[in-house]
Amino acid sequence: MIKPVGSDTLQPLFVYDTDKHHALMHEAESLPSVIISSQAAGNAVMLGAGYFNPLKGYMTVGDAMGCAEHMKMSDGSFFPVPVLCLLESVDELQGVGRIALRDPNVEGNPVLAVMDINTIEQVSDEQMEIMTRRVYGTTDPEHPGVAAFNSQGRYAISGPIQVLSFSYFQTDFPDTFRTAVEIRNEIQERGWQKIVAFQTRNPMHRAHEELCKMAMDAVKADGVVIHMLLGKLKPGDIPAPVRDAAIRKMAELYFPPNTVCITGYGFDMLYAGPREAVLHAYFRQNMGATHFIIGRDHAGVGDYYGAFDAQTIFDTEVPADALDIEIFRADHTAYSKKLNRVVMMRDAPDHSKEDFVLLSGTKVREMLGQGMAPPPEFSRPEVAEILMNYYQSLN
């Protein structure tokens, strides 16, 4: 099986030992505590689940700047984005060595992790601007990732953490949320050797389904892990439970047995385009995938990124020895009326736009909201029915 990034074995930060977990929860009740941001909470969940292996906790500002500018921490180890815990105020943390981190996304703000504070640093406006521009490619406050990153505060606390909860992800998505450890175990149990990972924050239409099959055929994979984001999205995106139901129905009806594994991870979408594509590849290697699909405008939003920037970054900026996972580079996929099947547009140079079944997201949402199923060449009817029920429930 493919090795995790930066270590021989996965080193998740979740405290699995029952006695130790109980003792830390008891200790946390007497520790000074802070309610952290949703982005910092997502970082804790990913650290706890082993996805950010081999990080031991939140970065210093120096390490975060190194990751933003060069994708490397001060010790030379590779990581594609800053992993920070930013706070509005640290007045009550002066002189404190150990604290409880509380969950902003669960009622009552329960303890998420216990942290040893190594440093407390103020992040300058210039440093925030550099990190924002390098990671998101823009400082436009209208960009949802930029807005979320810059709304967290300007004090960075760094140090190792011991994770005690997977936030709401384990309770709200018990059938879907999986740690990197659990996915590796499932891959091993299935006997898979070559594994394609597919990232999604949307329901999967016919083109996505066929793209997974194309990638599996091309690399001769044993299976595909459909790995959906379960955290916060931008307004208008389809909620995770609806996506989950639609994807499960598609996999059940249209994939051969023992070729698909449907899972999810607990993290808020960054919408950081190319940089987020590298992060996605990083933690897919940690969960055991050997190949990762990156298509047009991967993890993008609006018109901030070029169509294939998320692919070319692996050639231009990612060090050659940083990752072992292989990137499957996909073009836009659509149903060809000429060939009566889904193809990648680059593989059909004799086609014009009119030869494909192409629908905008806006048009599809309008149709679903009116109780009209998109054509079967675009969306499987069973998937369309789930989405129609959701959109009509909004009216």
The two tokens of residue 204 are: 């999967």
Catalytic residue selected from 154, 201, 329, 365: 201
Beta bridge partners of 101: 34, 113
CB 283 within 8 A of CB 178: no
- Convert the pLDDT of each residue in 196-254 to its tens digit: 999 998 888 899 999 999 999 999 999 999 999 998 877 777 888 898 999 999 999 99
| pTM > 0.85: yes or no | yes
The two tokens of residue 376 are: 């079967």
- Convert the pLDDT of each residue in 48-93 to its tens digit: 999 999 999 999 999 999 999 999 999 999 999 999 999 999 999 9
Q: Cα separation of 276 and 148, whole Å?
A: 15
CB 293 within 8 A of CB 197: yes
Catalytic residue selected from 109, 154, 190, 202: 202
202 is catalytic: yes
185 is catalytic: no
- Convert the pLDDT of each residue in 185-204 to its tens digit: 999 999 999 999 999 988 88
Q: Cα separation of 62 and 82, whole Å?
A: 10
Q: Which domains does the chain have, with CATH numbers?
A: 18-170 (3.10.400.10), 175-393 (3.40.50.620)
Residue 122 confidence class, pLDDT cut points 50, 70, 90: very high
Predicted local distance difference test score (pLDDT) of residue 231: 87
